[in-house]
Amino acid sequence: NVAELAAALNELGLAARGSPDALSVHPTAAAAVAGAGFVQESVPERLPLKHALYREIEGALDAGAVVASSASG
Residues 36-45: pLDDT tens digits? Answer: 999 999 999 9
pLDDT score of 17 more than 70 = yes
What is the pLDDT, as a whole number, of residue 73? 61
- pLDDT, tens digit (0-9, with 9 covering 90-100), for 56-68: 999 999 999 999 9
- 51-63: buried (b, 16+ CB within 10 Å) or exposed (e) per residue? eebeeebeebbee
Q: What angle do CA 62, 68, 70 make, to 5 degrees?
A: 150
Mean confidence (pLDDT) of the chain: 88
Task: Please count the residues of the chain.
Answer: 73
What is the pLDDT, as a whole number, of residue 20? 72
Contact 52, 25 (CB under 8 A): no
